[in-house]
Amino acid sequence: MTKASPTKAFAPRSRKVRILATLGPASSSPEMIAMLFEAGADAFRVNMSHGDQQSKVAVIQAIRSLEKSYGRPTTILADLQGPKLRVGKFDGGRTLLEKGTTFTLDRDPTPGDSTRVELPHREIFEAIEVGARLLLDDGKLVLRVTAHDATTIVTEVVVGGALSNSKGLNVPDVVLPMAALTSKDRSDLAFAVDQGVDWIALSFVQRPEDLAEARKLIGGKAALLAKIEKPQAIERLEEIVENCDGVMVARGDLGVELPPESVPPLQKRIIEVARRLGRPVVVATQMLESMITSPSPTRAEVSDVATAIYDGADAIMLSAESAAGAWPIESVAMMNAIGEAVERDPTHGERIHFTVIRSDPTTADALSEAAKNIAATVGAVAIVCFTSSGSTARRIARERPGVPLIVLTPQIETARRAGLLWGAYAIHTKDVDSFEEMVAKAKRMALRHGLAKAGDRVILMAGVPFKTPGSTNVLHVVRIVGDELKGYSR
């Protein structure tokens, strides 16, 4: 049976790093989403912190409609809000905290003043310690705890300033006994899974146990991504990465709770751990921040994006730049241009292999490493892998081969999730039943999608017996003749 041809031809991206674009008021229409896709967006983030669930339905449908228009799987990440800590309200809406004065947080809902305010979070009172810092309004104000009991936290104002109603609060120095999922998150997660999103991002993860409830509620219907934005998460980083399907370096809150100068080395460490454990890693927050209001970025922002690519990140993310800024298309196009420029750098291949990846003692890992090396040795133009679950694709992508990775899968969910995977070009296609059929299909797909031509070599990886997840045990090198598409309309 032949499939309907896509409305528009879509050439494979020349770059391997993926671009994750956040959608919002500036970019929620079907027309804008299509333009962002054409400008370079490989995946789309739906932020559940803003707007109601019903408003997200049309956005998700618009993303999915790209599959028919362009003949490509689409990737959707739903980002849960997580437990937001906020102070209460003030008499008159705001107050001024003077450095060196005493300021109290308590359980009294009466509007506050320059001496006190309500803190409606019982968990903080249970966990707080003398000497701990409380950061207000994205770290602009700093308090240090001098005394506390079950209903009162007394602090000294270390860094003062204006403070208004319901401003956010960070507690970087203690692990809070809070569930990673709020009631809102549970509702949003159920909605997102029902809508068929591909990735669920869990905010403010502190420990690997935080992932358990989300994993259970997802029920295998989406991949789970842990956002690393708490200092406590760094202390158990490897355990967290092992218990999720992907990670995000969420530099916003991470940079609030930690000294700013500590974030760059942590970014490199998180990427290294994710690479080593074979999980895709996204670098996010303020990457092209000035493009919220300006049609061009600063040189420092361009360097920041380039650094994440050189570090070997699977994906780089736009937040407000594409969601609410004045230049969403230009922001995606700029990130695309930076990615292409960095990957043209002759030293790029060496730099992304600075992280030493040691293969596990498994056949699949050994073959993935061999595929990368053989591709370089024989001058292959692509690696083609057949996968049902996507694990083979993740193993190969972890090696950062110098050629495109064509992911052939009979599972549309697997094809969609591959949108955050470095270098992956996923194709949803029928499964194969024999070795000969596998070879023939790999050749056809490489030709049809413009990733190979007559005379080129491609490398095949698959598992025999076919249709058996986790059985990767075949590596095969083939040469494209050029007539493989004769008699095939699709």
Identify whether the C-beta of residue 294 lies closer than 8 Å to the C-beta of residue 1: no
Angle, CA 484 vertex, CA 481 and CA 487 arms, to 5°: 150
Residue 486 to residues 55, 249, 350, 440, 482, Cα–Cα distance (Å): 46, 47, 40, 12, 9
As a whole number of Å, the CA-based R_g of the chain is 24
Which residues is 248 bridged to in the sheet?
227, 282
Are the C-beta atoms of 399 and 423 separated by less than 8 Å? no
CB 178 within 8 A of CB 120: no
- The phi-psi region of residue 100 (left if phi > 0; otherwise alpha if psi is between -120 and 50; otherwise beta) is left
Pairing of strands 141-148, 133-136: antiparallel
Q: Which of 417, 335, 306, 412 is nearest to 41 (CA)?
A: 335
**How many whole angstroms separate alpha carbon 314 and alpha carbon 422?**
5
Q: Looking at this protein, which amino acid is placed at residue 284?
A: A
Residue type, 343: E
Q: Give the DSSP letter string of 338-390.
A: HHHHHHHSTTHHHHHT-S--PPPSSHHHHHHHHHHHHHHHHT-SEEEEE-SSS
Asked if residues 291 and 328 have their Cβ atoms less than 8 Å apart, the reply is: no
Q: What residues contact 228, with CB distance under 8 A and at least 6 apart?
A: 205, 234, 237, 240, 247, 248, 249, 250, 254, 270
Neighbours of 379 (CB within 10 A): 10
Q: Count how many residues are written for the chain.
A: 490
Q: In this structure, what token pair is assigned to residue 179? A: 């569930």
Could you give the residue numbers annotated as active site? 45, 86, 227, 285
Report helix, strand and coil shares of the chain as percent, to nearest 5: 35, 20, 40
3 state SS of 162? strand
Q: Is the peptide bond before 465 cis (omega within 30 degrees of 0)?
A: yes
Instruction: Count CB neighbours of 202 within 10 A.
Output: 25
